[in-house]
A and B are shown apart, each in its own frame.
Chain A
């Protein structure tokens, strides 16, 4: 993956508007968080291959870390802390946020075809 380039990513998420798309949305601090640090909490959530449609899409950020909001007919999809992006298999948009050790903390992925399951 490479650091997010705002204009390029904006253009790509615009291309997914008003289509049926599959979304992978995830956040995690790992299954060992409270094992390694007693004061930490294990939290994580993911949804894979949620079939959705959004009509508004925007990426906002300060040049290092970005937020993405996707507006659906009846709700929102939101991710914060995105730092990197790539295109997987020519068409799937992958965005993710990593910590300094390269560990994934958050990811938002959008595709017109399902992610492998």
Chain B
């Protein structure tokens, strides 16, 4: 059993779309989970549907959604205070040291983050790389296991099959609740997939079809 799990992603909603089922499973086992959320998604373009946010109100709205989602998933939250879309331009080593200070305190047995270069959004790639660097900077015997999540369309071709495949359909409602806590984002993100499928099916069905399994690679140092 894990001792403590730390999730490191840059945006409010990455945790819900990417790992809510996995997080919920750990919580059911009684494992503490802490989310280190990099930004408030200040530059997101989803403003709700119908629109209820704007560029200036979005950060506070997403902050509240993030807090709600963490409540749904019953996990601790730390907001790191970086700015959306700028993480790759910051000093990676400095971010790694910042993350390491949390890891030194929490002493997790498992860290979940994005797989650098295969996570599509530049913030995902940059924070994932910094998270892995943070763990690498630790003494080998103190290092937690790292699960890295890839998103790109080609990741399986290049990286092979992910070692961890969590079937989360049994607790899918929890994931849906977490996703819909992000009211400004859920419709737009799921709607995008509907555009692609060009069929008119329920958003929850789309979520279930696309997100019933959460996959991670075990990072090799």
| Interface SS of B by simple majority | loop
Provide a sorted-by-A list of 28 A–B residue pairs whose CB atoms are within 8 angstroms. Answer: A1-B51, A26-B43, A31-B120, A31-B122, A35-B120, A35-B151, A35-B153, A36-B192, A36-B195, A37-B196, A38-B153, A86-B54, A89-B56, A94-B55, A94-B56, A96-B55, A98-B51, A101-B46, A102-B46, A102-B49, A102-B51, A102-B187, A103-B46, A103-B47, A104-B46, A104-B47, A109-B56, A116-B56
Bound: A35/B188 CA distance, A: 15
Bound: A90/B45 CA distance, A: 23
- Contact present for B54 and A1 (CB under 8 Å): yes
Q: Which residues of A (29-47) have their CB < 8 Å from a CB of B?
A: 30-32, 35-38, 46
**Interface flag for A24 (CB, 8 Å):** yes
Smallest beta-carbon distance B30→chain A, Å: 35
Number of interface residues of B (CB under 8 A): 29
Of chain A, the residue at the smallest CB distance from B83 is A117
| Residues of chain B with a CB closer than 8 A to A37's CB | 196
Number of interchain pairs (Cβ within 8 Å) = 73
- Contact present for B50 and A102 (CB under 8 Å): yes
Top 4 closest pairs, chain A to chain B, by CB = A102-B49, A104-B45, A102-B51, A31-B121
Q: Which residues of B (192-221) have their CB < 8 Å from a CB of A?
A: 192-193, 195-196
Interface residues on A, range: 20 to 34
**Interface flag for B57 (CB, 8 Å):** yes
**Interface flag for B162 (CB, 8 Å):** no
Q: Which residues of B (33-56) have their CB < 8 Å from a CB of A?
A: 43, 45-51, 54-56
- Contact present for A98 and B47 (CB under 8 Å): yes
Of chain B, the residue at the smallest CB distance from A89 is B56
- Contact present for A109 and B49 (CB under 8 Å): no
**Interface flag for A84 (CB, 8 Å):** yes
- Contact present for B51 and A109 (CB under 8 Å): no
Name 15 extra pairs, CB < 8 A, besides A94-B56, A96-B55, A116-B56: A1-B51, A26-B55, A31-B85, A32-B192, A35-B120, A36-B192, A36-B193, A88-B57, A98-B51, A102-B49, A102-B187, A102-B188, A103-B47, A104-B55, A107-B55
